[in-house]
Homo-oligomer: A and B are copies of this chain.
Amino acid sequence: MNIGAVAAASGVSAKMIRHYEKIGLLGASARSTAGYRQYGERDVQTLHFVRHARDLGFPLEQIGQLLSLWQDTGRSSAEVKCLAEAHLQDLDARIHKLSAMRDTLATLARNCCGDERPDCPILDGLAASAQLDDGPKREPSR
């Protein structure tokens, strides 16, 4: 199988397959006499695995660790779970950060009437010297 065929079969682009090889995530494949990369079914499986891990947001470095564990029949599932839990925490942290942004911005936007007049609580909020915060916005006192 040439690289285009594995790419189609695995859902990982040829460009990325070459890249993963270059950074050492994947081992170097066999080559045809003309220098074309040659792949087999097993490589399709591996790339599927990589794609799924990527779809879950794992960074490539951790995908490499997951691949190693996957191929190591002497692994303990605790090692895998540990990686997964760490990534879950990372995802949670990112979600919370984005949610805080969204809530703050939503509060500002809610107070903006969005008409032809220039007065705008959104701009006022951005210009305010204090930290933006998803606070009440009515009764800012106390």
Q: List residues of A whose CB falls within 8 A of some B CB.
A: 45, 48-49, 52-53, 55-57, 66, 69-70, 72-78, 80-82, 84-85, 87-88, 91-92, 94-95, 98-99, 101-102, 104-106, 108-109, 112-120, 122-123, 125-129, 132
Contacts and interface: CB of A to CB of B under 8 A. Distances in A.
Given A85-B109, A95-B102, A126 B49 contact: yes
A112 B57 contact: no
Number of copies: 2
A77 to B, nearest CB: 4
Contacts of A49: 126-127
B84 A109 contact: yes
A102 to B, nearest CB: 4
A70, A81, A87, A127 — most chain B CB neighbours (10 Å): A81
Contacts of A119: 77
A107 to B, nearest CB: 11
Contacts of A113: 77
Given A77-B117, A77-B119, A105 B91 contact: yes
